[in-house]
Copies of this chain bind each other. A is one copy, B any other.
Amino acid sequence: MERHFDEELRELEEQLLRMGALVGEMISLSIKALAQRETGLITVVREKEDEVNRLHIKIDELCLRLLALRQPLAVDLRFITAGLRINSDLERMGDLAVNITDATRPLLEEPPLKPLIDIPRMSEMAANMAKESLNSFLKRDTKLAKAILNQDNEVDYLKDQIFREFLTYMMQDSSTIKRALELILISRHLERIADHACNIAEDVIFMVMGKDIRHPKLQR
């Protein structure tokens, strides 16, 4: 029995949401490994990465199959190409969670550097933006998507703040250099997770409105 196109589109949506849920868990776990100093969680993140990579390939194949067999138009075409893009953003977000664990591992071999400054706050923001970007996709909610884009400035502010404060630490006490450096790198990974959440939000706006809002400063 041939399946309905609608059903296939729903399958694509479900796979993306499943991937989004997995990536969300990877982000939360990587941060938890750092904040609560639990090495065991690093292994869990790695295991989930395999599953994310499997989904990454599967979703791409599904998108290509739908483009080839269904020759979709207008909103369906935008949905499927947004799917391709969101798929790749989610996969990178998963990679970044792995990067966070890579930077966390050496940190857990040394005594904790307290405080972590704004890292917990920044990680909460990035994880939340990731989650909400998927929600905006599920609900086709452009208002929510725009709210995510508006948070990016705050993430950038936190990133600069973290840089400055850890720099001061390093200058004052050279025994903190290695740890502060890893924490700065972690803040950069968090920044990129937030960037990918913004990419997804932009895709949602494009998908719903058929309007490309990237590069707003351009005179076209």
Q: Is the CB of B88 within 8 A of A64?
A: no
With beta carbons under 8 angstroms apart, the residue of B61, B77, B177, B220 that contacts A177 is: B177
Q: How many subunits of this chain does the assembly comprise?
A: 2
Which of A123-131, A145-153, A181-189 is the interface stretch? A181-189
Question: A174 contacts which of B68, B171, B220 (Cβ < 8 Å)?
Answer: B171
Tell me, in angstroms, the Cα distance from A71 to B74 when the chains sit together: 12
Return chain B residues, CB-CB under 8 Å to A63. Answer: 81
Interface residues on A, range: 35 or more
Within the complex, what minimum Cβ distance (angstroms) separates A153 from chain B?
Answer: 16
Residues of A within 8 A of B (CB): 50, 53-54, 56-57, 60-61, 63-64, 67-68, 71, 73-74, 77-78, 81, 84-85, 88, 167, 170-171, 174, 177-178, 181, 184-185, 188, 212, 214-215, 218, 220
